[in-house]
Structure 1
Amino acid sequence: MSTQKSARQQADTVEGSEALRIDADRAEQIVDALNTDLAATYVLYHQLKKHHWIVEGAEFRDLHLFLGEAAAEAEEFADELAERAQALGGVPLSRGSTFEERAPVEPEDEDAYDIRTSLENDMEMYGDIIETLRDHVELAENLGDHATAHLLRENLIEVEDAAHHIEHYLEDDTLVLEESTH
């Protein structure tokens, strides 16, 4: 158990980074955006994992693998966001309840839904995250933090790709035949 009596840095403070040449005022805005993205990414991660665990049906294997990979990508991006926030002199979010409070996305409830509904919920969340990431890329660029803008832009490509895949899964063309009523 730690014997430290006080926190090294309060959670809602940003010091900036001398090494990165980003002052505290600009860093504060960027860290706030990164923590928002971190919160959204973890909410997305947990929803994707839920769907990965409960998917059933004829397309189980492909969807199970896709959802597992998408969750892993979200988890990896969350790590990159947290590390960047720390590099800018901030404290990354780290509590589950804080993620849901700060996220600009709304997770579905605890119930299990058919996979089409689950994927529609995922695509809605991806769309919200895409819009937020675009705004944050622009914010970082406007504040002169091109490295953060690059990090967000790279993830935006991955998020858009995952959303596009979900869009394909939701199309009506399938090899699975509906039961005939004859």
Structure 2
Amino acid sequence: MSTQKHVRQSADAIEENSLRIDTDRAEQIVDALNTELANAYVLYHQLKKHHWVVEGAEFLPLHEFTEEAYEHVEEGADVIAERAQALGGVPVSSPTVQERRATVEFEGEDVYDVRTMFEHDLEIYGEIIESMRDSIELADNLGDYATAEILREILVTLEEDAHHFEHYLEDDTLVLEEATH
């Protein structure tokens, strides 16, 4: 184990980057990206929780659906973190700091019925989608068209997954409920 303790870059510092985006603009964009990254990990952990605890007649398709959804979130988070680093920033990586930076809130440790869990997920998706649109506008306004495009691609996936959650929450179902007498 190395005994070297030299900090190469402070977590809140923005260094010059090879993308030719000045540090003042990069700082604003990295700040937005770190918020999106923090939001992504709150959603990721909530989806992972739902993947673990989902039960009922539709267990398998919902288990697989939540797995696909959290994988999409994690893939997007990775792209966001790498872009923050490319801009000279440090991606927020500590769970504690991510929770503090996030503008969305984890539902907690309790287990809810599937419909309630999915309603909570859809709410977070909606909040993240709105935030992502703001971050895209910020990047565009600051002349960082590549970051805006990267976020647009992630946004498409988020919107598609949110739409699928919305479908699951519809009233129509093939599962018959047992009549109670």
TM-score tier after normalising by the smaller chain length: over 0.9
1:33 aligns to what? 32
Partner of 2:49 in structure 1? Answer: 50
Query: What amino acid is the match of 2:92?
Result: L
- The answer to whether structure 1 residue 8 and structure 2 residue 8 are counterparts is yes
Q: Which amino acid counterpart does residue 65 of structure 1 have in structure 2?
A: E
Aligned to 2:97: 98
SS at match of 2:61: helix
Instruction: Please state whether the residue corresponding to 1:73 is helix, strand or coil.
Output: helix
Distance in 2, Cα, partners of 1:39 & 1:56: 28
Match of 1:167 in 2: 166
Q: Match of 1:133?
A: 132
In structure 1, what is the Cα distance between the partners aligned to 2:2 and 2:103? 34
User: In 2, distance between residues paired with 1:51 and 1:2?
Assistant: 39
Q: Which amino acid in structure 2 is aligned with residue 10 of structure 1?
A: S
SS in 2 for 1:135: helix
Q: Structure 2: any 5+ residue segments left out of the alignment?
A: none
Give the Cα separation in 1 of the matches to 2:2 and 2:40.
Answer: 30
TM-score by length of 1: 0.97
Alignment of 1:82-161 (within 5 A): 82-161=81-160
Q: Deviations over 1:42-87 (max 9, x none)?
A: 0100000000011111111111111001111111111111110000
The percent identity for this pair of structures is 67
Aligned residues: 181
Instruction: Give the gaps of 5 or more residues in structure 1.
Output: none
Post-superposition CA distance 1:133-161 (Å, at most 9, x none): 00000000000001100010001110011
State the shift of 1:181 in Å.
2.3
Q: Deviations over 1:18-38 (max 9, x none)?
A: x21101000000000000000
- What residue identity is the alignment partner of 1:8? R
Counterpart amino acid of residue 67 in structure 1: T
Given residue 145 of structure 1, which amino acid in structure 2 is its aligned partner?
D
- State how far apart, in whole Å, the 2-side matches of 1:146 and 1:2 are: 40
- 8 Å CA contact 1:45–1:74 kept in 2: the answer is yes
Could you tell me how far 1:41 is from its partner in structure 2? 0.2
TM-score, normalised via structure 2 length: 0.98
Displacement of 1:2 in angstroms is: 2.8
Distance 1:179 1:32 in 2: 52
The amino acid of 1:6's aligned partner reads H
